[in-house]
Structure 1
């Protein structure tokens, strides 16, 4: 009885804590991208051709690569660092275009898949499982890629640290190619607030309950998707996914402060001409 009471008390406290709005970019559960079950679910999401919650759909990826090659933003023979490469959805076709790729991702499961896939296709791609913030390259790459708004997931301080790492990794006049989300996307998609029961799904293999909550931080153009997951065994975990939205003006100022200048801008990495008010901004930033 005492043990059951203690478990209920912990669950109650976990739920109570999750109802307090988190401090800006306060971390959640540490074991996330490499959680044995969640990483399997995430890989499946990356590879699902009809779902764009983890990676963009195959047609969009193909158009992105076609645009970056045809516009000569990426050129055969370039050394390219693909940050957040996942299972290699961009690295693989870029390598097939004669580009030398180093892909980095924090998920061991995604890296294992990417390595196996490259080996099966006879592609020489250097895949590294690791944290971006531990990279120590010195004027090694012609280009750095970070696609699907991943730079938006970092706090201002962490973002600036990453930009300095990228700046150091790039050769003179090298290019950083990336995209960011805007507040228009946030207003259109809205903030989630719901709960549901699952017999087994993305978060857990067995039965569990998920409380989804969305929080807006308009003073910093940031927002939080928070997931409180309670499983049948009495475990309660809080997962937080943060995003910082940008305008062309705000991201341009950030780049300038970190030693870059905007060389080109589109509404997306597939090459649509930039017009203010879109969901995304795609940028080519040159090392100044």
Structure 2
């Protein structure tokens, strides 16, 4: 296991760095996988999440001949993460520890660990402003039907920073949560629930009331699930994927487009094989 630094133009490998090492429990790990790599906007560095080590490595690429790596201990097992709106604080799930981990990419230090629920999984995550807690972020969970929300503005709202603000009980565990600055809603899927009517339904949470205002059955196709909602750039539409998982049905996946204000369906893009992430 390793990560590779490449020339961005030619894609020539410039340096290979092993991720084997001692985990946060003091044990040697031979197969320490890289869960994700993130660019840091405020420094010439990447954050490398080393899954089984429970470490965030901040890799400074300004001098490849004298590579500087801060190995920042957190918790196991690291997975998906996202920045706060200032793009200074990195928020990442430690699935096996039921926590969201926070690090400061400017000071290159661990900041906080938040116990959110069973196996948090934010995907690309969601940041918004709450009327009581100020700027907040949220995550869905693989192990339970819950959206957990915490404060993430230590400068403007220090009393709420890195503490649970509130939680919303959903109908089942999910994979992704998304919102948009121009929307009054937060969307969460429930893909991991075993019952079709739940795993095919996404929930829409009102930012102001903190309550679920609508449950949308995205598909009723046999063995299909709804997964990963994403807003368009303007925040006027939400695109939700449908995985068709039945035998011989994988090319029957869809992307379903909803009006972000009325929450009504606008269109369906059909004939897709396992569509997941949508990016703009």
* TM-score under structure 1 length normalisation: 0.27
Q: Which has the higher contact order (CA 8 A, sep 6+)?
A: 1
Q: As a proportion of its length, which structure holds more helix? A: 1
TM-score (norm 2): 0.27
